């Protein structure tokens, strides 16, 4: 009997040594109350734990001794149930340890408000949790309390909400970027509190950064200026939207605000203004382009030089000009159009550009009464490499009153770029007629009128203009008194050569410029 007891003790010792060795090699040895086949022990790479729980039906306090594997941790860095506060509710308390083998054997977690003091150890009760599935080796699992369960449920919802919010913000940013120019920086870049080139005027800034003939200000400077402009008063309205007088660091600027349906015109005009070597004294000075998103709608801004005299249409309505003033105005317009039509060859060359909507309302009068051509929203460029026009065209574009005969009859060759330049020259002749009527010679001048004012209604239709211009071949009337004045006589001759029915017979903008320059020189000598 003693020998049998001795052998049993030896066998138990050997078994314990085997498990201690196994624990030393594979992990921590813990007391396990449901592991009878492994001598009431389990091995884990995590923690040993002891739990005290209250059986809801019987009110009996139950102790459980188990292993908590690392794969069952939540979160993965450190399990909630083994936090420094321990898992503690009125019906259960869990304590963990990993400082020594079988350390949980001496842990006795006590409930905060136990209903009964009767305790027992069971090998049949298991504590279930979604985080710790049943272990095939017999290691126990631990249940979660109210707080941990709330975290488990809420955490995926919070993560999903964050992902959805980030995705929505990215979508909004890409949506807004569709309104941005291709040369714009990301919308998240805000303008600095002060312009990059502080202490200089807009003219100085443009000359310093573009050498007076480049493709516009640096993009960040454009954005900086646009974000600092204060709108003062509305000065005009058109098919595109509104024009405001704005202020930037004490300087006046013109802000053309396009409506959302005119986005293509805004984009196109800004793109044309960015053309290399387009800047010219007789082309409206471009400063910046920007889109202003206030969260509800997007405003499309085009910022240019401000000219207090307004458009040529406004100026001629309220003022007359003398002979020198007429020549100065017409020469400046012809010079601007010649530069627009001119192709400059070179590495930093400029393509030929046709305006397609030339009229007195699209020309600005500067303080020295010279003019600058504006409103390039319908302009097209000539691609020399392919000898094509750079955008799909509608052959009936512009203001009906100023349309050339071939445009009215839809006979213009849209694949031949010179056709568009000739249509511009036709409109130029009508503008010269408007100016010449207001030329005050010896106190004699005519009231301001639009071309064909006595032949069509105020807002003529295509059919009306076609009948007058193409079928009847009528042109604005030239008063006989113009023939007695050298300057007006030359002007009338130029007009007629601008509005020939045959487009190929019309003068070029460069030829008109030279003729008016010679007239100006002759007038100076006469004076």
Catalytic residues: 357
Tokens representing 35? 């592991």
Tokens representing 218? 């640096």
Taking the C-alpha atoms of residue 265 and residue 365, their distance in angstroms, rounded to an integer, is: 23
Tokens representing 288? 């910046």
Task: Please state the separation of Cα 508 from the chain's center in Å.
Answer: 40
Contact between 38 and 75 (Cβ < 8 Å): no
In residues, how long is the chain? Answer: 527
Taking the C-alpha atoms of residue 125 and residue 128, their distance in angstroms, rounded to an integer, is: 10
What burial class does residue 325 get, using C-beta atoms within 10 Å of its C-beta: 0-12 exposed, 13-18 middle, 19+ buried?
middle
Tokens representing 457? 């209604």
Beta bridge partners of 29: 43
How many C-beta atoms lie closer than 10 Å to residue 117's C-beta? 6
Helix runs in 438-485, H state only:
462-466
- Residue 228 makes CB contacts below 8 A (sequence gap 6+) with 191, 195, 248, 249
Contact between 185 and 223 (Cβ < 8 Å): yes
């Amino acid at each position: 009997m003693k020998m049998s007891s001795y052998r049993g003790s030896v066998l138990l010792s050997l078994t314990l040594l085997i498990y201690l060795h196994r624990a030393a090699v594979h992990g921590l040895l813990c007391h396990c109350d449901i592991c009878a086949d492994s001598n009431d022990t389990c091995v884990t790479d995590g923690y040993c734990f002891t739990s005290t729980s209250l059986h809801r039906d019987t009110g009996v306090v139950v102790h459980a001794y188990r292993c908590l594997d690392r794969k069952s941790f939540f979160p993965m860095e450190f399990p909630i149930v083994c936090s420094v506060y321990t898992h503690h509710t009125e019906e259960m308390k869990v304590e963990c340890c990993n400082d020594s083998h079988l350390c949980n054997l001496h842990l006795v977690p006590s409930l905060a408000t136990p209903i009964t003091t009767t305790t027992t150890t069971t090998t049949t009760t298991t504590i279930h949790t979604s985080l710790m599935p049943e272990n095939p080796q017999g290691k126990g699992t631990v249940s979660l309390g109210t707080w941990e369960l709330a975290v488990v449920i809420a955490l995926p919802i919070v993560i999903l909400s964050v992902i959805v919010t980030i995705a929505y913000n990215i979508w909004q940013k890409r949506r807004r970027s569709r309104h941005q120019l291709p040369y714009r920086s990301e919308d998240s870049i805000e303008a600095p509190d002060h312009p990059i080139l502080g202490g200089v005027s807009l003219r100085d800034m443009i000359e310093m950064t573009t050498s007076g003939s480049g493709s516009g200000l640096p993009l960040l400077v454009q954005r900086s200026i646009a974000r600092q402009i204060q709108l003062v008063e509305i000065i005009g309205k058109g098919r595109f939207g509104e024009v405001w007088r704005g202020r930037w660091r004490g300087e006046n600027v013109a802000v053309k605000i396009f409506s959302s349906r005119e986005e293509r015109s805004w984009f196109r005009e800004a793109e044309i203004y960015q053309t290399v070597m387009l800047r010219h004294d007789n082309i409206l000075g471009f400063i910046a382009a920007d889109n202003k998103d206030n969260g509800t709608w997007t405003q499309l801004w085009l910022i240019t030089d401000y000219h207090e005299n307004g458009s040529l249409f406004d100026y001629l309505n309220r003022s007359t000009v003398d002979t020198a003033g007429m020549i100065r105005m017409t020469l400046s317009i012809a010079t601007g159009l010649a530069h627009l039509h001119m192709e400059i060859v070179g590495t930093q060359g400029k393509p030929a550009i046709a305006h397609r909507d030339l009229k007195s309302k699209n020309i600005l009068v500067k303080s020295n009464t010279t003019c600058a051509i504006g409103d390039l929203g319908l302009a097209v460029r000539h691609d020399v490499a392919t000898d094509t026009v750079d955008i799909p065209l509608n052959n009936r574009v512009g203001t009906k009153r100023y349309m050339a005969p071939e445009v009215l009859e839809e006979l213009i060759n849209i694949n031949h770029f010179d056709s568009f330049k000739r249509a511009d020259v036709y409109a130029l002749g009508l503008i010269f007629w408007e100016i010449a009527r207001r030329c005050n010679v010896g106190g004699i001048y005519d009231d301001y009128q639009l071309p064909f004012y006595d032949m069509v209604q105020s807002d003529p239709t295509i059919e009306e203009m076609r009948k007058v211009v193409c079928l009847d071949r009528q042109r604005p009337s030239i008063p006989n008194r113009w023939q007695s004045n050298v300057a007006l006589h030359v002007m009338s001759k130029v007009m007629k050569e601008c509005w020939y029915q045959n487009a190929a017979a019309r003068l070029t903008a460069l030829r008109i410029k030279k003729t008016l320059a010679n007239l100006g020189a002759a007038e100076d000598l006469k004076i």
